[in-house]
Amino acid sequence: MVGEVVLVNAYKKFFREYFNFKGKTSRLDFWYVILSLLILSIIPTAILSYLIFGSLMSISGGGNVQEIMEITFLNIPIFIIGIIYLFLFVPVITMTVRRWRDVGLRASGIILIFCLLVLIVILGFIIHLKQNIIIDFLIVISSSMFLITLMPSQICCTNSKNRISQFFFCSKGER
């Protein structure tokens, strides 16, 4: 019963702070929402994958792509699932940023990390780097950001006078 109340409160906060980048999100609230969204997304993703895989198998058997799309009504589930995922995209990003801020990252550091991710992908397409290099960079940065969500609150706060650490991390007195 207590877990249900915490989950409901976490979802209320998740939707109430749809565009709020400035607040904080506790580790418990963050993971309740993320794991429940992951579990809830398994069913529609599995159904959609089945429909797409079945359609691809029919196409390889000589069927017409347009006929298969009309027969399986693939456009409707793709549209509905796409709308749901787009609706949840913004609050997941804002909640993740709030979680990183709760750990002790500054907004300037978060923005720089996002810019690096986008820059790596863009450079990869422009320069035609090997895909493995792009994927390796994305895995390293994404894994680091994932590990930050697992950390306790204010663990990254620092008393350092170093400008680089002050750019990325909050000082202990700020909290």
| Tens place of pLDDT per residue across the chain (175 aa) | 455 677 888 888 888 888 888 888 889 889 999 999 888 888 877 777 776 666 555 555 555 556 555 555 566 777 777 788 889 999 999 999 999 999 988 888 888 888 887 887 787 777 766 666 777 777 888 888 888 888 898 888 888 888 888 888 888 766 5
Sequence-ordered list of residues with C-beta below 8 angstroms from that of 91, at least 6 positions apart, any chain:
14, 15, 17, 18
> Distance (Å, rounded) from C-alpha 106 to C-alpha 58?
51
What is the maximum alpha-carbon separation in the chain? 68
pTM, rounded to two decimals: 0.75
